[in-house]
Amino acid sequence: MNNYPPPKRIVMLIAGTGKLLDAVGQAIRQHHLDALIVAAISHDRWGYGLLRAEREGIPAILHDLADYRATGRSDSVYSDDLLTEVEGHRPDLVMLAGWHHPLTEAFYAHFAQRLVALQSGPALLSHRSPHTENVVSRLYEAFRAGLITEASVSLQQPLPTQLRLVAESRIPIYQTDRPVDLEDRLQRAEQDLLANTLHLLLRGNNHPPLS
């Protein structure tokens, strides 16, 4: 009789290319995570992320805010419907991986013990702020302007009234760096942080021990 617990279930809210989806998938394939990505949900109709998910055999779901606004439905209805969609996949963990659109307090409260967000930047960022795909360009420009001397990758827990830092990795920036060098260093740091931290969060209990 197999007494091993079933793999943990991850729902990822993505945008753009879905590179973090690939990073989590790689950690699973390399057996660093005993988990399954049970859904990839994106608001980005033209982004590569949904196609990437389909090619990996992951259910890919478009949740486009433009469709709601075109039919006169509010942003809060959009977020409430997203909550219902995500909960329908019975996730042990919900990951914001480049998600741009704001979410309601009800969404954060409902998934409070199961929600994490990966951020790359010079400092802890507000989970209410829009995430952008050009983080490397912003970091590189800030470094050249003398505003920062390093970057960071952090895994955060968005709560209804605060943002809790779960884990962080510092990344040096060198004078000889090109944007592509910084991008490669950030991606490797993201992969390492995800593989190590998600393993700890998903281990043991029915929900990650974030509180």
pLDDT per residue of the chain (211 residues) written in tens, 0 to 9? 567 788 999 999 998 888 889 889 988 998 888 999 999 999 998 889 999 999 999 999 999 999 999 999 999 999 999 999 999 999 999 999 888 888 899 999 999 889 998 887 764 334 334 344 578 888 888 899 998 888 888 888 887 677 788 889 999 999 999 999 998 998 888 888 888 888 888 874 444 444 4
8-202 under CATH 3.10.20.30, yes or no:
no
Residue 5: predicted pLDDT: 82
DSSP 50-115: HHHHHHTT--EEE--HHHHHHTT--HHHHHHHHHHHHHTT--SEEEEEB--S---HHHHHHTTTTE
Residue 183 tokens read as: 């991008």
Residue 160: the pLDDT is: 65
Cβ-count burial 158-186 (b if 16+ within 10 Å, e if not): bbeeebeebbebebebeeebeeeebbebb
Q: Where are the domains of the chain?
A: 8-202
The structure's pTM equals: 0.83
Alpha-carbon span 207 to 112, nearest angstrom: 10
